[in-house]
Amino acid sequence: MTHPLLSVAPMMGCTDRHFRYLLRLISPSTLLYSEMITTGALLHNEPAAFLQHAADEPVVLQLGGSDPTALAACAKLAEDFDYQAVNLNCGCPSDRVQTGGIGACLMATPDLVADCFSAMQANTHLPVTIKSRIGIDDKDQYDDFLRFVAPLYEAGCRTFIVHARAAILNGLSPKDNREIPPLKYDYVTRIQKDFPEATFVLNGGLKTVAQALEVMAETPSVMLGRAIYHYPWLLADLDTALGLRSAPLIRHEIIAEFRDYMVRQLGKGVRLKHMTRHLLGLHLGQPGARQYRRYLSEHMFEDEADIDVFDVAQSHLQSQAEAANS
């Protein structure tokens, strides 16, 4: 699989199947990622509860794990459930993830990660990729990063997604780990030159179209995360700037399509809050956005919340637009 120019990062609590459905309506070509799902969750429960998805392709399943056999079994599940690739998380710094011996702490054991990669790749026809930081704690020099990448490249990995910060495993929250350790984009551009036959996707700190275009002058692909979660239409702006959009995006049509999706999901027993919680930034900066967010936040958690809650929230935008034009 050739990694597209643009992808949206896997984000716990964010990139579930509902949010991915919205993003796919906005951008036909951006590569999407699932939330990280642990091997234990998949192998000790009904996998369909975690892996079902619809109309969000191309999408990558991100796995959390450190046992090659378990990861191999889950890689096969990714294929069975029609994902387009499978990714191993070697970058999450949260305490809970570390307790399970997965995520960023795996960067301390590159040979184990290489064994995991090999086991996964041997058990699926899907591409297997690695997402990591540039290092952990005080092991954040370029040579430390190189020592992590080299055995994986030797094992056959050709796509690396790199959050260009070190992960501090003790003392920083996941949020602080996304903001405090300094960005070192030069590590990504340098490693790309050292391994020209691989693709290194740059992730971390990108919040605007201008920033993405600037780093893409030296890197083949970029990944954005929180900026798109907080303002989904940024994805359309990026598509346009990168020449990936063949026709103008019409916002009200996208919103109408997602509303239809929510109605269908409500009919299947999905609670409204599981979908509308992703929509708080949908109208960022527009007249009536504050009233829209307030109404949605106050009413979407009610047990009987139905599509009417979304419709009333939307009506605040229309009221403000009419007032502005009067």
Contact status, residue 14 vs residue 246, Cβ threshold 8 Å: no
Q: What is the DSSP letter of 159?
A: E
| 92 given a catalytic annotation | yes
How many helices (H) and strands (E) in the chain? 16, 10
Report helix, strand or coil for 64. Answer: strand
Which listed residue (90, 92, 105, 116) is catalytic?
Answer: 92
103's tokens: 């995520």
Residue with tokens 């605040």: 316
Interatomic CA distance for residues 94 and 67, integer angstroms = 19
Q: Minimal CA–CA distance to 59: which of 90, 92, 37?
A: 37
Query: Sign of dihedral through CA atoms 226, 230, 234, 239?
Result: positive
Interatomic CA distance for residues 75 and 53, integer angstroms = 16
Within the chain, where are the H helices?
A: 17-26, 39-43, 48-51, 68-80, 95-99, 110-122, 142-155, 174-177, 185-194, 209-215, 226-230, 234-241, 251-267, 273-276, 289-299, 307-325
**Which active-site residues does the annotation give?**
92
